[in-house]
Structure 1
Amino acid sequence: MHDTLPLLAKIDFPRLRRHRLETLQVNLGYRCNQSCLHCHVNAGPNRTEMMDADNAALVLEVLKARGIGTLDLTGGAPELSPHFRALVRGARALGVRVIDRCNLTILSEPGQEDLADFLAGEGVEITASLPCYSRDNVDRQRGDGVFERSITGLRRLNALGYGDARSGLVLNLVYNPQGPSLPPPQEALGEDYKRELMQHFGISFDHLFALANMPIQRFGSTLVSKGTFDGYMALLRGAYRPENLDTVMCRSLVSVDWQGWLNDCDFNQMLGLPAGLAGKSRAHLRDLLTNDPEGEAIRVSGHCYGCTAGQGSSCGGALGADREEVEGQEPGRAATATARAETNGPTFGREAAPSRAAA
């Protein structure tokens, strides 16, 4: 696999400092039941890195000590951690909002048959990856049969009340472009998703988050192999919007790796760029018990343009309204369609919404 950090380190990015810490994002390990092309974690079934019991307990201590309002659990597939359910219960007992970054297929894995009921019972907010509402596109990016299992998982969640505003159970979906393109306008794409998933599968959800692919790990290595890394970086830098800087997720979020080390974001974690705190160049979760990270410098590099290009991108979706959208334009008509881009080569622009015929 190609290491993109040396390439990214050559690219300047504006300096940033932290605001108040509001979210603790914890990576419980890199083990996953899938191996997706766009995965910036390079997760998969053969990964063995998993958080231990001591660090999992420390997460709850930090939530309480710092008064953090949101615990964002990620991986890999975070549900595969033996400490996942204890963390969820402990955080909910503290009144903390818990987000589970779920790949949907985990809901039908052996031994996880009661997972959906557990999540609903604890009032966990689910942010689920569904990079397209087209079967072919999802299976191409995530593996054969993933789309069907994802639909089954979504139907199960809907049956429990997820995606129904009356239930209080929040279900958000995540979209990633198929290749080296910016995502379409989030609001318009979300309307497409809601229409297509309801029409074809009877599925409802709350919000769609449109995320840009980061030029790191598996996706970044693919760009290098195909000779498209420089073109993609030029796209991100050309679409840079300085007004996105104030709301990038690293301002109010700390990412914790499976060993308890702190990072400014999940992407920095994967690049091996640790976060500093209280004079330490590499801080640990335990350091948050006695030190407030507000005002600390954030480590930046070329990949940060992925969060600040166009409408912006974060773990909670776009950072603001898309300022390039043409009023009255049909959603998805602003760029070359995914299928055409894959046929004719990389398209460095905004990716179009999938064709309705592909659903």
Structure 2
Amino acid sequence: MSQSLSERRPANEGAHPFPKLRRGALTTLQVNLGYRCNQSCSHCHVGAGPHRRESMDAGTLALIPAVLEARRLSCLDITGGAPELHPGFRDLVRRVRGQGVEVIDRCNLTILSEPGQEDLAEFLAGEGVQVVASLPCYLEDNVDRQRGDGVFERSIAGLRRLNALGYGHENSPLQLHLVFNPQGPQLPPEQQQLEHDYKKVLAERHGVMFHRLFALANMPIQRFAASLRASGEHDRYMELLRGAHRSTNLDAVMCRNLISVDWRGEIHDCDFNQMLDLSLHPEALSGRGGRRARLEDLLQTDPLGDPIQVGDHCWGCTAGHGSSCGGALS
């Protein structure tokens, strides 16, 4: 991963630094299994794609169930890339579900029709996995412009397949949620109204149903940040985020009860810090002799109360209605 020094450090030294945060009770372990993906989306903060080869090794993968048990966590949130492409994905899901832990699969929908994944939808349903699926718009042209030709059609086919297995139906235990990202450097609209529009259009035009829509702001890092700089929009977008900050969102940002694990086994305060290669706050690293924190450290250490590493990119989580892995915050 190539990043400039300014991208790796917490750029929080301006006239109005992002407010300080401390972690609350940890409930969720979010694990990135690697950067290989069958898509290369323009808004992707991971920079994932078909040619990426970063992948979590078997030893690190084996630690995940133990950490969930040691910290008594209720949820494993699996992401990538396309996490389903990792050879250990299904065994990990089976073991964790056997522990009674909720599993979220961050799914791009087109993976359901990839060669070798023909039975993936049935596997997810059989294990009771919650599916959080990317669909940045309910209009075909907008989706294909952002994600590639034919992606919308394949995504709708994936949703219909999940619906046929019981996902997305009212009162179904098989939870199916969609994720919206704006097309460019603007904040997402109000989530509840957008969810209503999504449900109406997808049901009427495609016979598709789902439970909730998560509206996420595009974070000014990685591929999206490069696009902003190339178009001269980076500074304007950052001013937009800072100007739309709501302090009431600080209590609900995802880093308060989630910790992020990268494919190497290093832990970070959130998925975005992971992509910027920001380790934990220096105070949270005391006693480790300067080494970076790793997944195995959570076997012995409870991060409750630790300071959280923040930077200018964090304004993206508190702007407007707020943004997290679970959608709007307010």
TM range (shorter): over 0.9
Q: In the alignment, residue 141 of structure 1 is paired with which amino acid?
A: Q
Structure 2 counterparts to residues 81-100 of structure 1, below 5 A: 81-100=86-105
Q: Is contact 1:2-1:224 (8 Å) kept? A: no
Q: Is contact 1:2-1:221 (8 Å) kept? A: no
Aligned to 1:153: 158
TM-score calculated relative to the size of structure 2: 0.95
Of the candidates 304, 311, 315, which is equivalent to residue 294 of structure 1? 304
Structure 1 residue ranges without an equivalent (≥5):
321-359
Separation in 1, partners of 2:139, 2:172: 28
Aligned with 1:319: secondary structure?
A: coil
Of the candidates 208, 229, 237, which is equivalent to residue 232 of structure 1? 237
Identity of aligned residues (%): 65
Aligned to 2:326: 316
Residues 140, 10 of structure 1: alpha-carbon distance in 2 compared, 3 angstrom cutoff: farther
Structure 2 counterparts to residues 189-208 of structure 1, below 5 A: 189-208=194-213
Structure 2 counterparts to residues 51-62 of structure 1, below 5 A: 51-62=56-67
Q: Is contact 2:76-2:101 (8 Å) kept? A: yes
Separation in 2, partners of 1:208, 1:123: 19
CA deviations over 1:21-42 (Å, ceiling 9, x no partner): 1000000000000000000000
Note if 1:259 corresponds to 2:269: no
Note if 1:32 corresponds to 2:37: yes
Aligned to 1:351: none
Separation in 2, partners of 1:165, 1:199: 16
Aligned to 1:43: 48
Q: Measure how far apart 1:211 and its partner are.
A: 0.2
Q: In the alignment, residue 40 of structure 1 is paired with which amino acid?
A: H
Separation in 1, partners of 2:247, 2:293: 28
Aligned to 1:215: 220
Q: Measure how far apart 1:278 and its partner are.
A: 5.4
CA deviations over 1:102-159 (Å, ceiling 9, x no partner): 0000000000000000000000000000000010000000000000000000000000
Q: In the alignment, residue 35 of structure 1 is paired with which amino acid?
A: S
Aligned with 1:16: secondary structure?
A: coil
Separation in 2, partners of 1:59, 1:204: 32
Of the candidates 289, 295, 298, which is equivalent to residue 285 of structure 1? 295
Q: In the alignment, residue 65 of structure 2 is paired with which amino acid?
A: L
Note if 1:184 corresponds to 2:189: yes
Q: Is contact 1:2-1:220 (8 Å) kept? A: no
Aligned to 2:170: 165
Separation in 2, partners of 1:298, 1:22: 16
Q: Measure how far apart 1:275 and its partner are.
A: 1.6
Aligned to 1:124: 129
Q: Measure how far apart 1:8 and its partner are.
A: 3.7
Structure 2 residue ranges without an equivalent (≥5):
none
Separation in 1, partners of 2:10, 2:279: 18
CA deviations over 1:56-86 (Å, ceiling 9, x no partner): 1101110011110000000000000011101
Runs of 4+ with >6 A deviation: none
Aligned to 2:110: 105
Q: Is contact 2:74-2:101 (8 Å) kept? A: yes
Residues 312, 59 of structure 1: alpha-carbon distance in 2 compared, 3 angstrom cutoff: same
Aligned to 1:79: 84
Separation in 2, partners of 1:220, 1:7: 15
- The aligned length equals 320
Q: Measure how far apart 1:10 and its partner are.
A: 4.1
Separation in 1, partners of 2:74, 2:221: 29
